[in-house]
Structure formats: C-alpha cells, structure tokens
A and B are shown apart, each in its own frame.
Chain A
Amino acid sequence: GNSVTQMEGPVTLSEEAFLTINCTYTATGYPSLFWYVQYPGEGLQLLLKATKADDKGSNKGFEATYRKETTSFHLEKGSVQVSDSAVYFCALSSGGGADGLTFGKGTHLIIQP
C-alpha cells in the first residue's frame, strides 16, 4: 500500500535559517505529491504540489522537487520567518479509484526570532 514518511520534529530553527523537511514515499504507479500546511488555529491548506517526476513545486519561498529515483519530495526554504511556524504534512495521491490522500505524520516547525 501507499505510505509517506517524514521527520516528525518538533523542528526548531532561528529566523532566516535554511529549512529542509525530509519526505519519502512508497506508492504504486506514478503518484502526485503534495505539501500541506496547518497554521495554528487554522485548517489544512495546500502549500505546493508536483504531479510528475522532476517537477518542482514552489510557493511562498518554499520548494520541493519530485525525485522518482529516490522516492523523495523534500521541502526546502532558504530563509524562514516566524510566520512559517506551523505543522507541515507531506502527502501523495495515486488515484486508482479511491483517490484519497495518504499523509505523513506531520512535522511541527517552530521558528524563533
């Protein structure tokens, strides 16, 4: 079956630090890959996505590249801000009828000023 593995944290960084959150996956076929973010007190929202190998998703300074050879979709940002503090979820969808997202456990990111 499908699965997503990501570092759970909490990950604590200082403002302007470089961020990497690792995500690897197991799936049949050619899944679409997503990063969702949940800010404190808010609902889940899509941060970025990639639908095929070597695609790079980007949004709000965050980037992630779909690496089929390493089955990875690591999230990066060059300079984090306090407002980036949130829980980040890596997810995949492989379709096949059920079409729900398979999520990782989530990574709690804390940015200190």
Chain B
Amino acid sequence: GAGVSQSPSNKVTEKGKDVELRCDPISGHTALYWYRQSLGQGLEFLIYFQGNSAPDKSGLPSDRFSAERTGGSVSTLTIQRTQQEDSAVYLCASSLGPTSGIGGEQFFGPGTRLTVL
C-alpha cells in the first residue's frame, strides 16, 4: 500500500460529539495537507504540515478544529463539538516537499466522509 490512507472512510456522529480523523501519508513525504470538500464550498485548504510543524493554522474554519502530526508521519484532524455544517469529505494529501518549490505533486487519500446528525 504505497498511497495515502485515511481512516475511517465514513463517520456518522451526533451534533456536539468530538471526532478524530486520521491520515497516513506516503512514506518519506515530509509535507502533509488537510482539505475539506463540501457541496457548498468546494475544496477548501485547511492546514499544512512540514514535518511536525504547521506554520499557518488560519485556514482552520473555527477553534473547534485542531490538527497535529507526530513523528513526521501520521496526522490527526480533531473536530470538537461537531456541528451539522461540519458535514463534508475531509481529504488528506502528502508530497515530497513544498508544492510550489519543486512543482511537486500532492497525492490525495480517498477521504473521510463525515456526517453530523
């Protein structure tokens, strides 16, 4: 399995509950990205990690959203006190290095479909 993997593939939760979404990037990729895909907003960039560090968290939609990356590998996106407007597909991508620096490709995972009831 050489690609980006995400778990769970589907998550249904009740409003107000916390959820954790996981991303396993391609081995050796130092850059990791989270995006959200929804009908109303299209594809939105949320946050970027270079190694374990996220230089800019301003893309996160609210302070209920947080993300971390440990060991330069796995990343988790946590949404606290979920709301119905959080329902979307959450995509993770990884790349060898900064996309614009080397024109590098971002490889996307299959996504986690989150439904908040």
Interface size on B, residues (CB 8 A): 29
A99 touches B31 (CB 8 A): yes
A98 touches B42 (CB 8 A): no
Q: Of the listed stretches A11-19, A71-79, A100-108, name the one at the interface; the rest are far from the partner chain.
A: A100-108
Closest to B58 in A: A98
Distance from A107 Cβ to chain B, minimum over Cβ atoms (Å) = 11
Q: Is B90 an interface residue (CB 8 A)?
A: no
**A91 vs B95: C-alpha distance when bound (angstroms):** 15
Residues of B within 8 A of A (CB): 31, 33, 35, 42-48, 50, 55-56, 58-59, 91, 93, 98-101, 103, 105-111
- Given A31-B100, A95-B99, A102-B45: 18 more A-B contacts, CB < 8 Å: A32-B100, A44-B93, A44-B108, A46-B105, A49-B103, A49-B105, A89-B43, A93-B99, A93-B100, A98-B56, A99-B48, A99-B99, A100-B45, A101-B43, A101-B106, A103-B45, A106-B42, A106-B43
Residues of A within 8 A of B (CB): 31-32, 36, 42-46, 49, 51, 89, 91, 93-106
